[in-house]
Every structure is written in C-alpha cells, then in structure tokens.
Structure 1
Amino acid sequence: MPRPTNSEIEQYYFDLFRSHYALPAGRIEYADKPDVILHGERRLGIEIANLYLADGSDPASEQVQRRRREQVLERAQSLHLASGGRRIELSAAFDPGVPILEIDPLARKLAEIAMRVQGSSGQVDSLTFDHVPELTFLYHSGKEYAGARWRSVQSYAVPFVSVERVRQLVVEKTAKVADYDKGCQAFWLLLVVDFMDPAQDQFIEWPDGVALAKSPFERILIYKPQFGQVVDAVQAAM
C-alpha cells in the first residue's frame, strides 16, 4: 500500500478538524501555500503543520531515536545469532534522556548481554546492563522459536505543550507567508498533535500568562484529533 502524500495527510487532519471545530461558512478548497482556502464571507487561508516536540533534524528527537532503536535491535539480534546465540525474543526499553549516537557499539553491547542471559527468562537484572546507560529495561521469555524478533517496548511521559516549538514553527511559517495565495484576506495556522505518535504527543492546554509574538496569522490553533480538542495559542497584542 503506497504511503500517503503530505497533501493527503493534511486533508485527513483537516477533515477531522472540521468535524470538531465550527469554521466560518464557505467552500473548502484544498490547495498549496496555504494548504486550505475557505471561500466564504472572506477568503481565509489555513496552513497545517504537525507540532513535534523537537525538530526532526535534531539527533536527539524522537523521530530520529525511534529509527535508531530499531536499527540497534536489528543489528544486535543479527550479531547475537551470528555468534551462535539462541533464537530468543528480547524486549528492550531505552532512556530518552540518553540519545543513541552510534548504532554498532550499542548493538554489540546488547548482543553480548543477550548471550549472557539467554539461558534464563524474565526481566533482566538492571545490574547486568548498568554499563549501558542507553538501556533502562530488558526482558525475554526464555523461549526459542524461528520467528523471534527483538523489539522496543518504549514508555513515554507526556509533557506539557512545547511553547518553544510552537514559537519556532510560527517563525518558520511566517517566513513563507509572502508566498501564500495573495487573494486571502486572513491566515490561520493549524498545528496538529497526533497523540498516537510519541514524537508529537503533549498536553495542549495553553499556559496562563504566556503569549507568542504577534504574527501574520490571525489565529494559531493547536488541535489534538483523537480528543477533538482545539486551543488557541495566545499572541501578544499589536
């Protein structure tokens, strides 16, 4: 099945948003720069973006780290089997505060630990991997089978809304407003937080007493689709 395009993802989120939020009356047009144009009493342009907790170019971001966790586990299992290890299924959790910087060294450490504990079963004593700060938890059932696969069993704490990331996104989108449809009389910025993605999930209540610098966007809305929750990010008065 082909991966949805950015336009299809934006349309999906906006269709959900329309079901949860009373928009001004008018005809909806899916476009580009901005992503949506509402033709009503006035022409309203709406730009859509996902609000990630960190920029995806940051090596410590969840977007990067989740790929690296899977790479570490896949490489470690391969090394374990190549060394004559049993086909056990291993579950691991990693410390988000200790980002994975290199795949191979960590994979080798994990493969060595697996070789030591493969004869037992259950949760692995943390003293066994206290020399590996990236790890917080290890478990294996002790069973051996052909399709065994090593897995990440990550747990997450849900933080409060990342005001700084909102500021950064507003700055990024403001720089593009000059290229937006000139026929629009106003613009909104819709920031989507998909709680199914740990790289995005956050409580979206806007903190009291905090205001963003005034922007070209008439409104900046933060939207959590699965909860039907929409809040305004407060902007300073002119």
Structure 2
Amino acid sequence: MTKTKEWFVSWFDTNYYHTLYKHRDYKEAENFMQNLIAFLKVKKDALLLDLACGKGRHAIYLNSLGYNVIGADLSKNSIKKAKKHENERMHFIEHDMRNPFKIKFDIILNLFTSFGFFEDDAEDIAILKNIKNGLNKNGIAVIDFMNCTHVISNLVAEEIQIIDGITFKINRYLENGFIVKEINFEADGKQHKYFEKVKSLDLQKINLYLNSVGFKIKHTFGNYQLEEFNEQTSDRLILVLE
C-alpha cells in the first residue's frame, strides 16, 4: 500500500500554492527581520539558518543586510526558485526539518507558522531537538507561530479568492486538534483539493514541548513589531529560545 503524501509535501510543491500566496507582504517580512536583528544584536559574522524558508523571502532580505544565510526547505519547487538568488554568502538546500543538520548555526529561524504540522507530537519534538542541537554555544532560535487562541476566536469559515483566473474556495475549521484550511479550485481542466493543517498549540502546550528538549523561552512577542504577547489579542506567538 502506498503511503499518502503528507499535505505539506503535495501542496507546497505546486505552482498553485505560489499563485494563492503571491500577494504576501514582503515589506512586513522585511520589517520583522529588521526588528528581530536589531533586538537580538546579531553580529555580522553570524551564520543564520532560515528553516522552512519557502522561496527564501526572509533569507534573501537577511542576506541583503550582509548576513551569511542558509535557507532550507522540503519543497523542491520552492528551493529551485530560491536558488536563483544564491551568492557566496547565501545558499539554499532541500531539507526535511525532522532530520538533523550537518553543521551548526548561531541563529535558527523558523518563521511564518512552519511548525506543528504533524499528527504525532514526537515529530514536532524531534524538530525542536534538531534545532537545539543545530545551535552553536550561546546560539538563539526563533519560532514565529500563530497565536492559536486568537486565530480560533476569529476563524473565517468561508472565503473566496480569485487570483490569475483561478477561483480558490477556502474553508477553515477545527478538526482533531488541528486548525485546517481546505482549499478547493478548478485549474488546468481539473478539480483540485488541498489542505493546510497546523496543530492548535497554545503557549502552554508549546512550552511542554520546549521543556522536553531543554529549551528555555527567553522572550515572547505578539506581533512583528515585537510588542508584548497577549493571548486574547495578539496575531502571532513569537518565541526567542536559548
């Protein structure tokens, strides 16, 4: 029996994924990186890993600020696009974050809700272990997750987006402890259905994961301006770990 492809493998590797999210705010990503780099006082000779980098928007911007960056992502398609921007101080690799890293980093960034994809808690914990083991002494990890409490209380159940002539019908719901985004559309003469599923992890649950691998939360922020985290109102749950 063939194993069903995990949702993120099949969806992230399609061109439709890039079509749906083509209007993402690069300025917001750049401001976040500026704020974070300033806050962490990252030295210019630091080696940074953008883990689950997608097409590399954060990595590319960090590199433009003069940093040595490696971007890693499971999606062959995304890495192929990102590799067009490579230079001597920035490289992109295909990598499943459940697998350990071959080298160590000063900063590891896991941004834009690229965590909590797995049914089995042990797989999420394995990722945290890899991140911890992938850091140099005094290294810092940053996990930028959604604030599930806020997301659930403001869940938009149905939405339609028309992009490049494709009508994306989007449904959001809770199922088995996951926040699910179901995406239906017709394109290239076929009906398509994809999912995005992220585990509903509040700060308390994430902290249990972190404690199990010996990570400590150093700072908690609620948005890309690095304002204080509020469980009811903050958009994001941004964790600075050591």
TM category (shorter chain) comes to under 0.3
Larger-Rg structure? 1
The TM-score, its normalising length taken from structure 1, stands at 0.28
- Which structure's relative contact order is higher, taking Cα pairs within 8 Å and 6+ residues apart? 1
The TM-score, its normalising length taken from structure 2, stands at 0.27
